[in-house]
Amino acid sequence: MFVDLNCDMGESFGHYQLGNDEEMMALISSANIACGFHAGDPHVMRKTVQLARQHGVSIGAHPGFPDLMGFGRRYMTCSAEEICDYILYQTGALREFARAYQLDLDHCKPHGALYMMAMADENIARSFLEGLAMLDEKMIVYALNGSAVAWLGEKMGIPIALEVYADRDHTEDGSIVLTRSGPTITNPQAMADRVVRMVKEGKVTTPDGKEAKVRADTICIHGDTPGAVELTKAIHQAFHKAGIEIRSVKKSALRSG
């Protein structure tokens, strides 16, 4: 049994240092790299691609709304054409940095408000997926269980990797619970055990005690959360005991094919 561990990366910009990329890159199999709109800049993008190459980590685009001040977490009203262009612009830029290091861009995961809006709204999901398909219709898309992106992407023939979160609570429909303060890591071992259950049993307990069914192709961990490194190491240990191998979605697909 194998599963992908993904983390948002390259979210520093200018003099602002965000995240824990150096330590987290050594512990994950896929990196979602910011493309300059919500975070990141050309220098950070290049360095993050270089770091991923050094550790053999799969590279993916992490495009968001043009909202540097709000870190891409403010909901915006955009036309379908605008969303499509945002995806093309950001993902295309990162693809060229990857090519400069003889790497492929394996996946795409929208960021923040764009992520949540696309998961819930069919029209936004379609705009996002159509923009990505113009660039590469075979690029893997990370999406929440039961989301508009997941079912519409499958309908359009776009490969989908269903995502769960190590550091967020899940709702009964497989989505995630958002908090203003962000994820809180208080018990890495208990959280790691919960991740193992999502992978092996396809189940997770919601905050109100209900059981939600999920498929875990990839597990997200937020690298900028205090305690993220400890949580990821706990997940590694729990996976080892449970016989779960950490492998990127792209490498898993290639092996199974």
Look at 18-32, 76-90, 184-198 and tell me which has the smallest mean pLDDT. Answer: 184-198
Model pLDDT, residue 54: 97
Look up tokens 């660039």; give the residue: 135
Exposed/middle/buried for residue 76 (C-beta within 10 Å: 0-12, 13-18, 19+): middle
Yes or no: say if 161 and 60 are a contact pair by the CB < 8 Å rule.
Answer: no
Arithmetic mean of pLDDT, 101-123: 97
pLDDT digits (tens, 9 = 90+) for 141-174: 999 999 999 999 999 999 999 999 998 899 998 8
Q: What does the alpha-carbon distance between residue 13 and residue 16 come to, in Å, rounded to a whole number?
A: 5
- pLDDT value at 257 more than 50: no
Q: What does the alpha-carbon distance between residue 61 and residue 35 come to, in Å, rounded to a whole number?
A: 7
Residue type for 11, please? E
Cβ neighbours of residue 233 under 8 Å, at least 6 residues apart? 27, 188
Model pLDDT, residue 63: 98
Arithmetic mean of pLDDT, 32-58: 97
**Long-range contacts from 86-90, C-beta under 8 angstroms, 24+ separation:** 86/37, 86/114, 86/131, 87/63, 87/128, 87/131, 87/132, 87/135, 88/131, 88/134, 88/135, 89/35, 90/35, 90/36, 90/37, 90/61, 90/63, 90/64
Average pLDDT, whole number, for the chain?
93
Q: Which CATH architecture has domain 2-256?
A: Alpha-Beta Barrel (3.20)
- pLDDT value at 53 more than 50: yes
Model pLDDT, residue 7: 97
Model pLDDT, residue 180: 54
pLDDT digits (tens, 9 = 90+) for 24-42: 999 999 999 999 999 999 9
- pLDDT value at 115 more than 70: yes
